[in-house]
Amino acid sequence: MALFRPPFRPNYAQKLSILATLPLVVAVAAIALLVAFESRSSAEREIQALQQQLLAAKKAELRNYVTQARNGFSFIYGRASPDDNEAKEQVAQILSSMIYGTDGFFFVYDYDGTNLVSPRQTEFITRNWSGLQDSQGTPVVDEFIRLARQGAGWHSFMWQKPSTGEEARMVAYVVGLQDWQWAVGTGVFIDDVLASVAVARAEVEARVQRTFLYIGVITLAALIVVFASGMVLNIRERRLADAKLKELTQRVFDAQEEERGRVARELHDGISQILVGVRYALDNASRRLKRGELDRGLPPLDKGIDDLANAITEVRRISRDLRPRVLDDLGLGPALKALTDDFSTRTGIHSEFSTVVFRNRLDPEAKIALYRIAQEALMNIERHSDASEMTMDLRGHAKGVTMRITDNGRGLPLDQDRTGPGIGLRNIQERIEQLDGTLRILSSRGTQSGTMIEATLPLSHLLAPGESLGADLGSKSVEG
């Protein structure tokens, strides 16, 4: 299997970069094909126009030759009778002497197909060429005769050049001398026209190929730039993500250590001290009871029982802070109500909690997030606000669920850095962002000082009615 392993196996980021460049490649390829098609179409139209212009010039030249030749013998032909052989001989001699260029000449055929004049190809003279066809099967002499009978016309065919013996395409113009039943004409080879057209087509093809090459080079350069930029950005973002991950991991460790330290302090300062008092009370009661001092042994025993009850209450409080059972059993509303009541009892701050019935039930992640946000907010109020009143409101709406906590404390300091490493506001912000929610914090100082924390979670965190086991929240207003 190792023999079939590909030499290049892109990672996830490279796959994304390649996927991002595919639309660019497809778009450039489509543009290149469109440019090539339009270039060839436009060039072909221009080439066809050029060919028509050149052929028109050749035909005009041929017509002038024939017109001049006819003018040269018209004084003989006009006075001669159809059977005037002497006149025919004079005209034939005139036409035989009319040669031009390297391959230009006049030819004459009678209507039976016999050649009468062919100065550059004398082997044709006096022979009947009716039915003669060129190498492509095009009739030659018969078409001359047909055009002559009609008066005049053009004909294109393949013919050997007298100067080289090579076959080339010729365009001939033929007129008829109806009294003598002669087909008189001359032709011109258009290989130079075809060569010019071929050169033009070759130039067009070369231009299209150069255009493809330029587009390919530009596309390759753009792809290299895009891919390199993507790789640079990916490496940079990956480094930033790694740094943030390390920072987040460190903060998680710090939060865990802080929570462990808090639980350890509460166990040591609270439960441990109470249990030590219980032990001393029970030891004292035991010694007195062993000495038979029943009346003096009962008070320390009762005190130990009371301290033990306090220890049980403290354990329950710590357990509730870590993970309140009421949050799982009854839902978020009762859990926040219990949290508010405990906050009011512990701090003496006048507290209100209100909520409305939810049509849907919050998912577990949203419930625990809102509960922890409320814990963080109440802890900040207790430690830093010097507030005398606190209100907490929780309600669902068309866009999701919103929890708003306000106090009348001294507000946040003006230079408060809310993005700093502080545990309170930063933890709240991170919990909200993790659930795609929004956090709004308003603070004022002075005569109307206070702080408002508003956390909103989207509708996606509300379960459908069929998924819930009853109303998550009761409609109530509670004062502490």
**And the tokens for 228?**
């390199």
Question: 385: Cβ–Cβ under 8 A, 6 or more apart, which residues?
Answer: 407, 409, 410, 411, 451
Mean of pLDDT values over 89-95: 91
On whether the CB atoms of residues 403 and 455 are closer than 8 A, the answer is: yes
Quickly state the pLDDT bin for 467 (edges 50, 70, 90).
low
On whether the CB atoms of residues 173 and 62 are closer than 8 A, the answer is: yes
On whether the CB atoms of residues 232 and 287 are closer than 8 A, the answer is: no
pLDDT of residue 478: 39
435-451 pLDDT, tens digit each: 888 989 888 876 667 88
- Whole-angstrom distance, CA of residue 42 vs CA of residue 49: 11
pLDDT above 50: residue 1: no
On whether the CB atoms of residues 132 and 121 are closer than 8 A, the answer is: no
422-433 pLDDT, tens digit each: 556 777 888 888
Higher pLDDT, 67 or 223: 67
pTM of the model: 0.45
- Whole-angstrom distance, CA of residue 274 vs CA of residue 287: 20
Q: What kind and span of H or E run contains 452?
A: strand 450-458
**And the tokens for 4?**
């079939």
On whether the CB atoms of residues 439 and 373 are closer than 8 A, the answer is: no
Quickly state the pLDDT bin for 477 (edges 50, 70, 90).
very low
Higher pLDDT, 178 or 356: 178
pLDDT above 70: residue 358: no
Residue ranges of domains in the chain, CATH in brackets: 102-189 (3.30.450.20), 329-479 (3.30.565.10)
User: Virtual CA dihedral for 257, 262, 268, 270, nearest 10 degrees?
Assistant: -170
- Whole-angstrom distance, CA of residue 418 vs CA of residue 344: 26
374-417 pLDDT, tens digit each: 888 898 888 888 889 999 999 888 788 899 999 998 887 765 44
pLDDT above 80: residue 233: no
109-152 pLDDT, tens digit each: 999 999 999 998 889 999 999 999 999 999 999 999 999 999 99
Strand partners, 457: 401
pLDDT of residue 391: 94
pLDDT of residue 476: 39
Question: 81: Cβ–Cβ under 8 A, 6 or more apart, which residues?
Answer: 87, 179
